[in-house]
Chain A
Amino acid sequence: MNLTTTEPAEVSDTLSGGSQRGDRVFHGLAFAAGASIMVALAGVFIFLAIRGAAGFSAATGLYQPYTSFVPYAAGLLFGTALVAVLAMIIAVPFAVGVALFLTHYAPRPLSTVIAYLIDLLAAVPSVVFGLWGLKALGPALLPIQRWLNEHLGFIPFFAGEVSATGRTVFLAAIVLAIMVLPITTAICREVFGQTPRLHEEAALALGATRWEMIRYAVLPHSRSGIIAGTMLGLGRALGETMAVLLVLNASGPKITWHLLTSDNPATIASNIAQNFQGENIDLQVVLLATGLVLFVFTFLVNFAARWVVIRSERKFQ
């Protein structure tokens, strides 16, 4: 090994008190870096709270169409949650399917290639997804939106007049679903791959088909992992800004269950990006306050996801 090239002089040098000092300094540096992450997270909360505090009770004209912060933020939060939850409803079955394919169906080389391609999906910048959703996917999905409205219009979700541009909650949810697919797939894939080999082989030895093996050995073992992957994806979807901003034709904070109309609720993130560039300092303060709401909300969702993971890890140890 070429690690033994330390010269004798250096060795004697490092054995003296100087090395202990070096060790202490380096330990301190590493510790400080770790602590700085704590400081940074606390800093995000503190600075948003300081700068945004005035936004909780600003002049009533800033909260259009409402007059105070709570309904304003609630309306935005509703839009955020609606789009994100819909996206997850679409994405999770796909993520589970893709993860199963990668771990239990595809031969190794094919699995590697497809896993790479799915990861590549996460690398495409969100603004490019936004433009594509707007110009390519939107028009392509318009017939489907019309069909849903025509044939399933009695369901409140699909009621109302279909947007002529296709820039609806429905389209935004699909674009978001595509964007969160890689992370949810990655987590599902990891937990599926961790299923004890013996459980799987025992199931097969009892004559189970591949699906029965998955159904009775893999899925029960992975339930908490799927939940965690879903919630991490949800956290991603809640905070996604540019794709929603470009794709969704939003008309400010509002509460509506119609998914196909041109009158759509804005999300917290898209609302911030939409209005922050205007140099209205008072409005920026209000937006900072909504940013704090978004931060706390996604923090809770992510924390819950981690908690599910940690609890299930303990169970299996």
Chain B
Amino acid sequence: MSTDLSDVATDTTFPPPSLVRARLPRQATLIVGVLALALAVLGGPLLTGASWYSVPFVAGLLLVVLLPLWSLQVEGRRAAVDRLVTLLVTYAVTLALVPLVWVLAYTVIQGLPAINWAFLTKDQTTTLDPVTFKQMPGAGVLHAIVGTLLITLGATIISVPIGLLTAIYLVEYGAKSRMARIITVLVDVMTGIPSIVAGLFAVALFTQFGSVGTRIGFMGSVALSLLMIPTVVRSGEEMMRLVPADLREASYALGVPKWRTILKVVVPTAFGGILTGVMLAVSRVIGETAPLLVAVGTVDYMNTNLFSGRMQTLPVFIVSKYKQGADLLELAWGAALILVILVMVLNLTARIIGKIFAPKTGR
């Protein structure tokens, strides 16, 4: 206890030392952090010529070693462990956010050069240049955007009624019955279906009743709806449970039958939350690739008929362009950027709607 560091600490303990342990100064983390950063810069890029990328890692490592050591000297083992854990938890969060920023930034940087008017308004059909008679490769992804939107719309049209009616059954009719419990478990299990299995199911179903090579856009809708239904049920159930029982009872007291109460009171009250849930579910399946790859396939021209012929979708477009070669990678990144923007816009809008229509449970 003779180092000058601990002297600083003991000076600040004004109540009887028997009651209060020695503590590090309040800005201890900041002090050691700055020190660690300085050491990392000095010992890294400045003196040994290591790359600047190493600085945050070395500084972080120094901080996580030095601060607990100092704390061990002054405050004892228990406080040192506490400080160590606090640092580790903070590191975990910081590191966990790196991929998000990195993925989004990388996609924007790689995808932006590909995006222009032709990219958004043309498909991939090869055309013959009327002047030079050269074959011009297609330049755009319009067919993929349209395909993605149509197939997702189909999935939404299937999932929303089934999902909401199931939620209504779970909340209003089946509450606590054996059937409701079974359905709850099954919905949970359904959440875990691998997306590619959903695609295979669509293939198996449609080839059982159609010809062996059947691939149509609607198969993708069926596959996606299998992935979407559990999300819709979950959020619908959650939101309808938030509707106060008072409202239902007031409606019953007026002689309104149950089904009208549900349609006119429960669902409208929970509407904002339900809409948020549906939009989040859409944003989750709109980027699904695997089921569409096996169930819908890929094609280079515009097809707006869900029930006939293959369709192109953005995710599958990305994969197929990646496979076709390095010079087409820019197209893949452009499509990836559009897909990410679609997903993020849906996601953000859903959250904002959720905030605005949040059920006012308090009085």
Please measure, in the bound complex, the distance between the C-alpha atom of A154 and the C-alpha atom of B351, giving whole angstroms: 50
A44's partner among B82, B226, B229 (CB-CB below 8 A) is B226
Q: Does B245 count as interface, using CB distance less than 8 angstroms?
A: no
Tell me the bound Cα distance from A135 to B318 in angstroms: 14
B301 at the interface (CB under 8 A from A): no
Q: Is A52 an interface residue (CB 8 A)?
A: yes
Residues of A within 8 A of B204 (CB): 47-48, 50-52, 288
Give the distance in Å from the alpha carbon of A114 to the alpha carbon of B95 in the complex: 12
- Assess whether A269 is interfacial by the CB under 8 Å rule: yes
The contact sample of 21 A-B pairs, CB cut-off 8 A, is A1-B247, A4-B250, A19-B260, A30-B169, A31-B174, A38-B182, A43-B205, A44-B201, A98-B89, A101-B90, A120-B344, A123-B347, A124-B340, A132-B102, A136-B102, A211-B85, A239-B197, A245-B319, A272-B294, A284-B203, A306-B185
Residues of B at under 8 Å CB distance from A? Answer: 78-79, 81-82, 85-86, 88-93, 95-97, 99-100, 102-104, 106-107, 110, 161-166, 168-170, 172-174, 179-180, 182-183, 185-198, 200-201, 203-205, 207-208, 212-213, 226, 229, 233, 247, 250-251, 254-260, 262, 264-265, 283-284, 286-290, 293-294, 297-298, 315, 318-319, 322, 332-333, 336, 339-340, 343-344, 347, 351
Are B79 and A131 in contact, with the CB atoms below 8 A? no
Contact with A132, one of B78, B107, B344 (Cβ below 8 angstroms): B107
Given A93-B92, A117-B100, A287-B200, 16 other A-B contacts at CB below 8 A?
A3-B264, A4-B254, A31-B173, A36-B166, A37-B186, A47-B205, A52-B204, A105-B86, A106-B93, A118-B97, A123-B283, A124-B104, A125-B287, A127-B287, A137-B102, A277-B297
Q: Name A101's contact: one of B93, B162, B336 (CB within 8 Å).
A: B93
User: How many Å from the CB of B171 to the closest CB on chain A?
Assistant: 10
Closest to B102 in A: A136
- Contacting pair B174 A98 (CB below 8 A): no
Given known A124-B100, A241-B290, A272-B196, contact A37–B183 (CB-CB < 8 A): yes
Are A281 and B95 in contact (CB-based, < 8 A)?
A: no
Q: Are B259 and A27 in contact (CB under 8 A)?
A: yes
Q: Tell me the complex Cα distance, A298–B163, Å.
A: 22
Cβ of A209 and Cβ of B79 under 8 Å apart?
yes
B189: chain A residues within 8 A (beta carbon): 41, 299, 302-303, 306
Contact B289 A127 (CB under 8 A): yes
| A26 near B262: Cβ-Cβ < 8 Å | yes
CB nearest to A235 among chain B residues: B192
User: Which A265-317 residues have C-beta < 8 A from chain B?
Assistant: 269, 272-273, 276-277, 279, 281, 284, 287-288, 291, 294-295, 298-299, 301-303, 306
What 8 pairs across the A-B complex have the smallest Cβ distances?
A239-B194, A125-B287, A97-B92, A33-B165, A26-B259, A302-B192, A241-B290, A30-B169
Chain A residues with Cβ below 8 Å from B107 are 128, 132
Residues of B within 8 A of A44 (CB): 193, 197-198, 201, 226
Q: Looking at B78, B89, B186, B258, which has the most chain A CB atoms within 10 Å of its CB?
A: B89
Binary contact readout A4-45 vs B (1 if CB under 8 angstroms, 0 otherwise): 101000010011000110110111011111101110110110
- How distant is the Cα of A30 from the Cα of B256 in the complex, in angstroms? 19
Q: Does A6 lie within 8 Å of B256, measured CB to CB?
A: yes
Contact B287 A126 (CB under 8 A): yes
Given contacts A126-B287, A209-B81, contact A3 B166 (CB under 8 A): no
Contact of A94 with B by CB under 8 A: yes
Chain A hits for B351, CB < 8 A: 116
B256 touching A14, Cβ below 8 Å: yes
Cβ-neighbour of A129 out of B103, B283, B284 (below 8 A): B103
- Measured between beta carbons, the chain B residues less than 8 angstroms from A33 are 161-166, 168-169
Q: A242 at interface (Cβ–Cβ under 8 A)?
A: yes
Give chain A residues whose Cβ lies under 8 Å from the Cβ of B183. Answer: 34, 37-38
Consensus secondary structure, chain B interface:
helix
Does A181 have its Cβ within 8 Å of any Cβ on chain B? yes
Q: How far is the CA of A63 from the CA of B186 in the complex (A)?
A: 33
Known: A23-B259, A37-B183, A43-B205. A125 touches B197 (CB 8 A): no
What are the residues of chain A within 8 A of B264 when measuring CB–CB?
A: 3
| Inter-subunit contact A37/B162 (CB<8 Å) | yes
Determine which of A4, A47, A124, A211 lies in contact with B208 in the assembled complex, contact meaning CB atoms within 8 Å. Answer: A47
- Per the bound structure, the CA–CA distance linking A23 and B257 in Å amounts to 7
A25 to B263: give the CA distance in the assembly, Å: 13
**CB–CB A269/B254 < 8 A:** no
B290 touches A273 (CB 8 A): yes
Enumerate chain A residues within 8 angstroms of B205, measured Cβ to Cβ.
43, 47
Residues of A contacting B172 with CB < 8 Å?
A: 30
When C-beta atoms are compared, the residue in chain A nearest to B351 turns out to be A116
* Complex Cα–Cα for A235 and B197 (A): 13
* Contact partner, A124, options B90, B96, B162, B287, Cβ 8 Å: B287
Which of A3, A50, A106, A306 neighbours the largest number of chain B CB atoms within 10 Å of its CB? A3
The one of A11, A105, A236 that contacts B90, using a Cβ cutoff of 8 Å: A105
Q: Give A96's nearest chain B residue, CB to CB.
A: B92
Per the bound structure, the CA–CA distance linking A239 and B250 in Å amounts to: 47
A26: chain B residues within 8 A (beta carbon): 258-259, 262
Query: Does residue A238 face the partner (Cβ distance < 8 Å to B)?
Result: yes
Distance, CA A287 to CA B196, complexed state (A): 11
Judge whether A62 is part of the interface by a CB distance below 8 angstroms.
no
B260 near A22 with CB under 8 A, answer yes
